[in-house]
Amino acid sequence: MKHRYLPMTESDKKQMLDAIGVESIDELFSDIPEKVRFDRQYDLKPALPETTLVKELSALAGRNADSNSHASFLGAGVYDHYKPIIVDHVISRSEFYTAYTPYQPEFSQGELQAIFEFQSMICELTGMDIANSSMYDGGTSLAEAGMLAAGHTRRKKLLISEAVHPEYRDVVKTYALGQSIQVEEIPLKDGQTDYDALSSMIDGDTAGVLVQYPNFFGQIENIREAAEIAHENKSLFIVSSNPLALAVLTPPGKLGADITVGDAQPFGIPEAFGGPHCGYFAVTKKLMRKVPGRLVGETTDEEGRRGYVLTLQAREQHIRRDKATSNICSNQALNALAASVAMSALGKQGVREMALQNISKTQYAIRAFKEAGYEVLFGGPSFNEFVVKCKEPVADLNGRLLDAGIIGGYHLGLTYPELEGHMLIAVTEQRTKEEIDALVQEMEAIHA
């Protein structure tokens, strides 16, 4: 068998076996005990030539409804946003995407500088002092923040708002289970974290208070109040934030956050059925040596030229092994690059304009639903999501919306039993006024 990825020829093989001094390749595997050797062939689907492979995978892809073929109003942590075309051109440069972690800085200045720029941009948006080079996603990043808080304060309890993404909360709980940390949920009050409840729940065991800004329902909470409660108790204040919203909102760093985490997916990263996205992790200066994952720092070479290296590596698993601050090794470097390109393309003006469009279109949609006689829940300000009480079961509704070319919202009853029959609707800058009107109309038509 010949294959385009395998350059070995018969004459190469013979010369190499001769140089090694063996008769056959099999001899090189003679150290595998006979008893466990695999003595048949893998039972796999047959190999496909390139064109057939593309056809077959295109057919599979074609069976999915996507946000190009449909108008998507689904958010809940993953959004259909404007992706500047240039993003894909930059990350398709294979010097970036076929490189490993930049362990040899002289050969990896491009990647290292790009990460340094990513760290800087995340600091700008979040108002934090230090950002790392990325985490797997927003959920594991939040979990790592909780673990950092427990390690830093030597306390064993986390208080997490029920207004934090339900899947993020689940991830936090799994990580916490591993480290015997207790997790308690702060209840809701009108779609926001109940700060009075927080005040009564917090105690000397509380390592951290975890909230989301804007929260899972799209509500923009006044988190400064929660920060004060946390700090009075010497607990760390941890904020999970959509970085796009921070273009127009006072950043967590200015509202008392000790750690700000989230997902940079809104910046140029495709939805991709849930991943890969791009977690970010940002802290105040005092937590610098507790940060999980890789950090890039500036330095100089022997001639005094500016250059970049991985730094403060004593925190990391390959040096510290079982004493490391985290086990993370691979991260989401290429998606951090994608986010950097998108943040550069949008720039100082574009992020603000895009965030404002999200707010304005969401306000328009809220008014449209109210005018059509829907109850729109929760009284606080919204970023790009809001909750509507549906007149029919949400799954039925979404099924029929699909036929009308619309991907409907998230059924909140799946994770909040008290919100059965309620839909979380996301309206990004991608949605036109016509599409918003069509959504309201289609929901009405179905109802009628």
Partner 1 sequence: MHKENQPLIFEISKEGRIGYSLPELDVPETDLSGLLPEGLIRKEAAELPEVSELDIMRHYTALSTRNHGVDSGFYPLGSCTMKYNPKVNETVARLSGFANVHPLQEESSVQGAMELMYDLQEHLVEITGMDEVTLQSAAGAHGEWTALMMIRAFHEANGDHNRTKVIIPDSAHGTNPASATVAGLETITVKSDENGLVDIEDLKRVAGEDTAALMLTNPNTLGLFEENILEMAEIVHGVGGKLYYDGANLNAIMSKVRPGDMGFDAVHLNLHKTFTGPHGGGGPGSGPVGVKKELVPFLPKPVLVKKDDVFTFDYDRPKAIGRIKPFYGNFGINVRAYAYIRSMGADGLKLVSEYAVLNANYMMRRLAPHFDLPYDRHCKHEFVLSGRRQKQLGVRTLDIAKRLLDFGFHPPTIYFPLNVEEGMMIEPTETESKETLDAFIDAMIQIAREAEENPEIVQEAPHTTVVSRLDETQAARKPVLKYSRPEKAEPVAVN
Q: Show contacts with partner 1 in window 347-376 (CB under 8 A).
A: 347-354, 356-357, 359-361, 363-364
Determine if 305 is a binding residue for partner 1 (CB under 8 A): yes
Burial 221-244 (b: 16+ CB within 10 A, else e): bebeebbebbeebebbbbbbbbbb
How many other CB atoms are found less than 10 A from the CB of residue 386? Answer: 24
| Choice between 80 and 442, CB closer to partner 1 | 80
Beta carbons within 8 Å of 159's beta carbon, 6+ residues apart: 184, 185, 186, 198, 201, 202, 206, 208, 209, 210, 235
How many other CB atoms are found less than 10 A from the CB of residue 6? Answer: 8
How many chain residues bind partner 1 (CB under 8 A)?
205
- Tokens read off for 163: 């207004």
Using CB under 8 A, which residues numbered 115 to 144 contact partner 1? 115-117, 119-121, 123-125, 130-131, 133-134, 136-140
Q: Are 308 and 112 in contact (CB under 8 A)?
A: yes
- Tokens read off for 264: 């940079």
- Tokens read off for 303: 């001639």
Distance CA 235, CA 149 (A): 8
CB of 226 to partner 1, least distance (A): 13
Q: How many angstroms separate the first and last alpha carbons of the chain?
A: 63
- If phi > 0 it is left, if psi is from -120 to 50 it is alpha, else beta; for residue 304 that is left
Beta carbons within 8 Å of 338's beta carbon, 6+ residues apart: 87, 88, 90, 91, 267, 268, 269, 278
Q: Are 81 and 354 in contact (CB under 8 A)?
A: yes
Member of 10, 23, 154, 273 binding partner 1 (CB under 8 A): 273
Member of 346, 388, 412, 425 binding partner 1 (CB under 8 A): 346
Determine if 318 is a binding residue for partner 1 (CB under 8 A): yes
| Choice between 102 and 208, CB closer to partner 1 | 102
| Choice between 294 and 374, CB closer to partner 1 | 294
**Considering only 6-14, 156-164, 196-204, 228-236, which stretch makes contact with partner 1 by CB under 8 A?**
6-14
CB of 244 to partner 1, least distance (A): 11
CB of 37 to partner 1, least distance (A): 6
Member of 187, 196, 232, 300 binding partner 1 (CB under 8 A): 300
Determine if 418 is a binding residue for partner 1 (CB under 8 A): no
Half-sphere exposure of 85 (CA within 13 A, CB side): 0
Member of 190, 196, 203, 298 binding partner 1 (CB under 8 A): 298
**Considering only 155-163, 185-193, 196-204, 291-299, which stretch makes contact with partner 1 by CB under 8 A?**
291-299
**Considering only 156-164, 201-209, 228-236, 331-339, which stretch makes contact with partner 1 by CB under 8 A?**
331-339
Using CB under 8 A, which residues numbered 30 to 89 contact partner 1? 30-33, 35-38, 41-48, 50, 53-54, 56-69, 72, 74, 76-78, 80, 82, 84, 86, 88-89
Determine if 393 is a binding residue for partner 1 (CB under 8 A): no
Determine if 445 is a binding residue for partner 1 (CB under 8 A): no
Distance CA 53, CA 387 (A): 42
Using CB under 8 A, which residues numbered 195 to 254 contact partner 1? 220, 222, 224, 246-251
| Choice between 251 and 266, CB closer to partner 1 | 251
Beta carbons within 8 Å of 348's beta carbon, 6+ residues apart: none
Determine if 102 is a binding residue for partner 1 (CB under 8 A): yes
Distance CA 239, CA 345 (A): 26
Determine if 343 is a binding residue for partner 1 (CB under 8 A): yes
